[in-house]
Structure 1
Amino acid sequence: MKRFLSLALALTVALTGLDTSQAAPHNTKNRDFVEVASDGKGFTLNGEPYTIRGANYWQGMNLGADDCSGGDRDRLDKEMELLVKMGINNLRVMASSEGPDDQKQRMRPSLMYAPGEYNEGVFQGLDYLLDAMDRHGLTAVMTLNNYWQWSGGFAQYVAWIDKNQTAYPLPEGDQNWDTFTKYSARFYNDTEIYEEAQGMWKKHIETVITRRNTINGKIYRDDPVIMSWQLANEPQEGPDAWFEETSTFIKELAPKHLVSAGIEAKLDQFDFNRAHTPKNIDYTTCHLWVENWEIYDPSNKSSIVDAQIYADDYVHSRAQWATELNKPIIMEEFGMARDAWIKPDDEVFKYSPDTPTAHKDQYYKGIFDNIVSLAKKRQFSGSNFWAYAGLGRSTDYPNQYGMVWVADPPHEKRGWYSVYNTDTTVKVIEEYNSQLKALEEE
């Protein structure tokens, strides 16, 4: 019988192209798909309440690649264990990145280096990441595009159609983000290129959703590890019809999975409702960036008070908006810099892994307390902090592709918002996760 099974496995490998060293199933427990609760007030998994105790781990796809493609699977496996120890059950990851790989401020190597052309090594990194998450009982939010340049994103699609050499319309050193955002938004606001841009992107969506995982043989659209497909990271003021059209397209390809929009929700309730009203957008999202929005100054010790007041109002107002739509809500991005106020004139100190995180810990705890309070009333479903750097450090030497895989995207200062495995913030996150877990069990 053993020899028969070995021959059967060999035949399966030959037919499917699976890696024999990884083909054996890792997770034998029954897994269902994450669903929205029947009353719209949260999520369920296997018929039980499911809160999102999450982290952003956008770099996971590239860490999961093999050595030749710039990955570090040993580190990824260790970080999976650390995340589970923290009580994390959900990771928001990139399921897209666009080349060419000679561009600045870009994830390298990219998943799709040219329209419809893929780096198989990076794709297998995504396979490995999902399989590792399955082994550790985690679920994934799969982000399919990006309004910002650090993964290529919308602007790269525009550049491909325009035949530009670069997706950045800004001169070196120009920080006029208004110029860039208008360029990026052409992806869905320019009627002359809309059909071509969306068609190109939908081919990518279909390629990812219908992919067969080379590690475990599962087709992505049938894999319960995937909780949600997300249209894009922070699509800014996208057209109403785009949210409707794209969410419907994804739902038809992957009817077992949830779909989310990925918006910040930093504007008003009208903008929030436009993105979240379509029937195939299953839940709502919000992001909170007090420093980027000029509410918090990490060099000013007293500004933490303003940050917390703003965050308190933000969490409660967005929870109310979601309640009115009768859809769950996740705070899927928020972060804070290290304590630059200790040495406000020292730029190196601001981003050093050794710099304390007293303000960050206080700020995280304030947000977490609000979410737990609202979750008890089933008005909030969890969060994903930004972002987990794990064993990486801002001081690490770049790999062969010039990348340092921490939690800060390539266009930002390394160490700005990263949460390292040794940070005191980890204890704050652990306590919060234990409180949410306890709510599931009540």
Structure 2
Amino acid sequence: MREMNKKKEMHVWAVVFSALILLTQHRLQSQVAAEGFIRAKGLNFVLNRNKFLANGFNAYWLMMLGSDPSQKSKVTSAFREASGHGLSVGRTWAFSDGGSNPLQYSPGSYNENMFKGLDFALAEARKYNIRLILSLVNNYDNMGGRKQYVEWGRTHGQTVKSEDDFYTNSVIKGFYKKHVKTVLTRINSLTGIAYKDDPTIFAWELMNEPRCQSDQSGRTIQGWITEMAGHVKSIDRNHLLEAGLEGFYGPSSMQNQNRVNPKFFVGTDFISNNQIPGIDFATLHSYPDQWLSGSNDLTQLIFLNKWLDTHIKDSNEILQKPLLLTEFGKYSKGSRFENSDRDQLYRTVYNKIYWSARNKGSAAGGLFWQLLTEGMDSYKDGYEIILNRNTPTVKIISLESQKLHYLGKLFQQKNG
């Protein structure tokens, strides 16, 4: 009898404990939902009916370090330092396809430990009031990308000619769609919140820098974005969606293709790709030192000014959607590099964003490439920024945060 009473007692405590977990998760879900999702309305991002401006960063490594108990403290440090400098949006990878220690071993087969690393990154971002853009696949073969998907297609009996078959082969597209659904419906192991219901996520990104060299008309990528935007929206209507474009002009804007593009023709079209239903805002990358290699810094700055001005104008007048500069930076390992040249580039980018936002234009923020914290030497690529180092570049980043914060408050007062 005593043994039966003990079992009953244990059962009661188990029920109570489960109820407390469910209650805690419900409260957390209610609290997060009350915080609201970022929306796009006309040229603006909006949060709880107020204009939302974003100063932010890229940190593609969050999931990987978050999955490693010996390294995950760096995720927390990065968010703490970013928040301390007023940064409110980060961009990171929600993919790692094949290879060693991946997120996705093979189509539909996942590494739970790596997924928990992404759970941790989202949970920590929320603590520091930072929203994350999650990119769903890579154009490049770094961490798998299109190349890995095409290889998976081959192992499943598909006849494929090149990596560009990623965009057209129905079986390979099915692998990607399954990955999208898996990520969007993932229940965070730390918060109990489904990703598709989590306002910590700013937006989904279909691909990091999609390119299709075999079709310069842009029709292949146009079709793929259209199909995949519809797929994402069929699962998740809460979050914003963007395509991941670098901003190269295509056939729909021949004048800008010839006048503004840095002689890059990669099968994308800034105008038509961003006009697709389901694409909520336009994105832009900017690397004058890569795209105009061999040119001097003055030439690169002239290009940068034209590049930003033209895209802001087209987002204002043609797309009539917000524009987010989701990658920019300057390489610091070249023989001619001067810190002052990078500072000038950052000032140029931030001034364009500020004055566009100040005058009710489409530019809503910029995310530099890339944020690191101390002790991450193996991740240094020449573009890294470490915020706890009191450099002039860090001061420029902090000042932009202050200016955008002030501007946001100003708009609230006018609309209040």
TM-score range, shorter chain: 0.7 to 0.9
Correspondent of 1:260 among 242, 249, 252: 242
1:119 equivalent in structure 2:
111
Deviation at 1:274, TM superposition (A): 2.2
- Aligned in 2, Cα 1:418/1:290: closer, same or farther, shift over 3 Å? same
- AA matched with 2:200: V
1:75 equivalent in structure 2:
74
1:309 equivalent in structure 2:
302
Deviation per CA, 1:105-148, whole angstroms, max 9, x where unpaired? xxxx2110212111111100000000111111111111001101
Contact 2:205 2:241 in 1 (8 A): yes
Deviation at 1:14, TM superposition (A): 8.4
Q: Normalized against structure 2, the TM-score is what?
A: 0.82
Task: Confirm or deny that 1:186 pairs with 2:165.
Answer: yes
Contact 1:65 1:122 in 2 (8 A): yes
Correspondent of 1:385 among 364, 368, 371: 368
Identity in percent = 27
Q: For 2:209, what is the secondary structure of its paired residue?
A: coil
- AA matched with 1:156: Q
- AA matched with 2:154: D
Deviation at 1:357, TM superposition (A): 2.4
- AA matched with 1:214: S
Correspondent of 1:235 among 210, 216, 220: 210
Q: Distance in 2 between matches of 1:62 and 1:14?
A: 27
2:382 equivalent in structure 1:
416
Q: Distance in 2 between matches of 1:311 and 1:365?
A: 11
Task: Confirm or deny that 1:63 pairs with 2:65.
Answer: yes
Matches within 5 A, 1:86-105: 86-101=85-100
- Aligned in 2, Cα 1:142/1:339: closer, same or farther, shift over 3 Å? closer
Deviation per CA, 1:378-433, whole angstroms, max 9, x where unpaired? 22111111110122443xxxxxxxxx3x3xxxxxxx43111123243211111111
1:338 equivalent in structure 2:
332
Q: For 1:332, what is the secondary structure of its paired residue?
A: strand
1:11 equivalent in structure 2:
18
Q: For 1:322, what is the secondary structure of its paired residue?
A: helix
Higher Rg of the two aligned structures? 2
- AA matched with 1:264: E
- Aligned in 2, Cα 1:60/1:296: closer, same or farther, shift over 3 Å? farther
* Structure 1, unpaired ranges of 5+: 102-108, 165-181, 298-302, 345-349, 351-355, 395-403, 407-413
Deviation per CA, 1:80-116, whole angstroms, max 9, x where unpaired? 1100011110111111110122xxxxxxx21102121
* Structure 2, unpaired ranges of 5+: 1-11, 213-219, 253-268, 411-416
- Aligned in 2, Cα 1:268/1:95: closer, same or farther, shift over 3 Å? same
Q: For 2:203, what is the secondary structure of its paired residue?
A: strand
Q: Specify which structure has the higher proportion of helix.
A: 2
Contact 1:339 1:358 in 2 (8 A): no
Deviation at 1:269, TM superposition (A): 7.0
Q: Normalized against structure 1, the TM-score is what?
A: 0.78
Matches within 5 A, 1:362-381: 362-379=344-361, 380-381=363-364
Contact 2:229 2:279 in 1 (8 A): yes
- Aligned in 2, Cα 1:8/1:361: closer, same or farther, shift over 3 Å? farther
Correspondent of 1:211 among 176, 182, 186: 186
Task: Confirm or deny that 1:434 pairs with 2:402.
Answer: yes
Matches within 5 A, 1:236-315: 236-237=211-212, 238-268=220-250, 270=252, 271-295=269-293, 303-315=296-308
1:161 equivalent in structure 2:
153
Shift >6 Å, 4+ stretches: 13-16
Q: For 1:44, what is the secondary structure of its paired residue?
A: strand
Task: Confirm or deny that 1:327 pairs with 2:310.
Answer: no
Q: For 1:381, what is the secondary structure of its paired residue?
A: strand
1:201 equivalent in structure 2:
176
Q: Distance in 2 between matches of 1:235 and 1:336?
A: 21
Q: Distance in 1 between matches of 2:16 and 2:408?
A: 40
Q: Distance in 2 between matches of 1:93 and 1:415?
A: 16
Correspondent of 1:47 among 46, 49, 52: 49
2:262 equivalent in structure 1:
none
Deviation at 1:266, TM superposition (A): 2.4
Q: Distance in 2 between matches of 1:428 and 1:9?
A: 52
- AA matched with 1:46: N
